[in-house]
């Protein structure tokens, strides 16, 4: 079976068989087999290619690392566990937001705490102008999923929908900005995901608790890790099920 992830990663980065063959010191036909036949390169070659295309080895070759090894690596991907999202230091959020230069991906319902930062929206616009890809997923305010979550978190009827509409008002300056995409999702939100390049905050959701009071994980992506990639793929799944946000 062809390795479409590898093929796509090479195309996105403007790399052909010759580029990869030269970097890994193998014959171009070997590289072609890695793509068209799904052959798995040696670890040293996987590391080189992953660095070239800025993807994790686990994303490009999901079956290359043994499950027990993935479990060991996952522990190293966890930078810190916070008992509540609102216990995450402001300085960490500021660093993650400020340092991101390639990817900002947010899966949330409202996340009003982000737009409470006076410069947040302008920062996103500036990052998009500099070439970063900004993807924002909000809960669809009128969806039954949002209404259910509002009840489950004991917020009251219509409270979460109102919070989302309030948050959207802050994001209006980003409408039509190249590099910024905003969508509505109607999924059951098991986790809110805040990705900034190769770091991520995962805000778990606990029945009966508001998101700010639920545990959160600070993750850092590792080349052969599986944990960061799991949440990243989850984001992509929701993205593909979403629709353009209608303000």
What are the pLDDT digits (tens) for 122-156?
A: 999 999 999 999 999 999 999 999 999 888 887 87
CATH number at residue 108: 3.30.870.10
- Note the pLDDT tens digit of each residue in 32-52: 999 999 889 888 888 899 888
DSSP string, 70-83: HHHHHHHHEEEEES
Task: Identify whether residues 80 and 9 lie together within a single domain.
Answer: no
Cα separation, 50 vs 134, whole angstroms: 22
Mean pLDDT in consecutive groups of 10 residues from the start of the chain, 247 residues: 88 89 90 90 88 82 72 76 96 96 96 94 97 97 92 83 94 96 95 96 91 94 82 95 92
87 shares a domain with 163: yes
Single pTM value for the model: 0.76
Full domain range(s) for residue 185: 72-244
Do 143 and 201 fall within a single domain? yes
- Same-domain pairing of 51 and 84: no
> Residues of the chain with pLDDT > 90: what percent?
60
Beta-bridged to residue 203, according to DSSP, are 192, 216
User: Do 52 and 123 belong to one domain?
Assistant: no
Q: Give me the pLDDT at residue 72, please.
A: 63
């Amino acid at each position: 079976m062809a390795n479409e992830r590898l093929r796509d990663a090479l195309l996105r980065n403007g790399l052909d068989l010759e580029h990869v063959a030269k970097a890994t010191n193998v014959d171009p036909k070997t590289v072609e087999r890695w793509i068209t036949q799904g052959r798995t390169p040696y670890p040293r070659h996987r590391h080189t290619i992953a660095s070239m295309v800025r993807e994790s080895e686990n994303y490009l070759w999901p079956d290359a690392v043994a499950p027990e090894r993935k479990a060991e690596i996952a522990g190293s991907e966890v930078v810190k566990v916070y008992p509540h999202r609102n216990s995450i230091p402001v300085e960490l959020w500021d660093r993650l937001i400020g340092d991101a230069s390639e990817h900002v991906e947010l899966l949330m319902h409202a996340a009003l705490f982000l737009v409470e930062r006076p410069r947040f929206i302008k920062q996103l616009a500036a990052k998009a102008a500099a070439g970063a890809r900004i993807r924002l997923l909000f809960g669809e305010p009128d969806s039954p999923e949002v209404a259910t979550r509002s009840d489950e978190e004991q917020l009251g009827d219509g409270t979460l929908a109102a919070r989302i509409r309030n948050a959207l008002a802050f994001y209006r300056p980003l409408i039509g900005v190249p590099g910024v995409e905003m969508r509505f999702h109607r999924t059951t939100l098991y986790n809110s995901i805040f990705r900034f390049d190769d770091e991520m905050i995962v805000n778990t959701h606990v029945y009966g608790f508001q998101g700010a009071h639920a545990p959160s994980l600070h993750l850092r992506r590792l080349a052969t890790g599986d944990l960061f990639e799991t949440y990243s793929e989850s984001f992509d799944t929701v993205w593909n099920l979403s629709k353009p946000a209608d303000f």
